[in-house]
Amino acid sequence: MEPIIKKEKNTVSKISVGEHKYIEAVGRRKTSVARVRATIAAKNSFVINDEKTIDDYFKNEAQRIIVSQALNVAKLPGHLAITVKVTGGGINSQAEAVRHGIARILILMDPELRKDLKKVGYLKRDPRAKERRKFGLKKARKAPQWSKR
């Protein structure tokens, strides 16, 4: 279903997708999966895994910047209440998965943002993950020391 967005003088007044009151998207990175939901609210709020704020969950300032990068590119004037359920992977991978999910939501809200978000690379799912270990090797590609005799 296509989201219905009513804009009045650079503000997003209503978002509705069918009968739902929110927009949902999934962001991924390595083995991390982030389910992101956004609604229009009176003030900005960010809740992760039903209880923690962005400052409590992402202790590092660099990770908080990663999460908010897509919102900074969009320069969305409306206020968003974002709730996230994130699982798997490490904390940095989870931050990038949340950014991917937020970027997908922003596209659903305003398709004109696609060009800007795509240019900075927030719409691409970064598929890099750890390679599996092969038998006879110490790691994925590291072989034991070779001796001639």
Domain residue ranges of the chain, discontinuous segments joined by +: 4-120
Instruction: Measure Cα distances from 117 to 25, 63, 138 in Å.
Output: 15, 18, 40
Q: Indicate if the pLDDT at residue 70 is higher than 50.
A: yes
Helix (H, G, I), strand (E, B) or coil at 12: strand
Residue type, 99: R
User: What are 10-27's pLDDT values in tens digits?
Assistant: 444 445 555 558 899 999
Q: What pLDDT, on a 0 to 100 scale, did the predictor assign at position 103? A: 93
The CA angle 83-94-41, to the nearest 5 degrees, is 15
User: What are 84-124's pLDDT values in tens digits?
Assistant: 999 999 999 999 999 999 999 999 988 999 999 999 999 99
Q: What pLDDT, on a 0 to 100 scale, did the predictor assign at position 121? A: 92
- Residues 31-48 have a mean pLDDT of 88
Q: What pLDDT, on a 0 to 100 scale, did the predictor assign at position 14? A: 45
Q: What pLDDT, on a 0 to 100 scale, did the predictor assign at position 34? A: 95
Q: What pLDDT, on a 0 to 100 scale, did the predictor assign at position 1? A: 47
CB count, 10 Å around CB of 114? Answer: 13
CB 31 within 8 A of CB 21: no
Q: What pLDDT, on a 0 to 100 scale, did the predictor assign at position 15? A: 52
Q: What pLDDT, on a 0 to 100 scale, did the predictor assign at position 75? A: 83
Q: Indicate if the pLDDT at residue 6 is higher than 70.
A: no
8 confidence band (pLDDT: 50, 70, 90): very low
Q: In CATH terms, is domain 4-120 a member of 3.30.230.10? A: yes
Please give the mean pLDDT across all residues of the chain: 85
CB 49 within 8 A of CB 84: yes
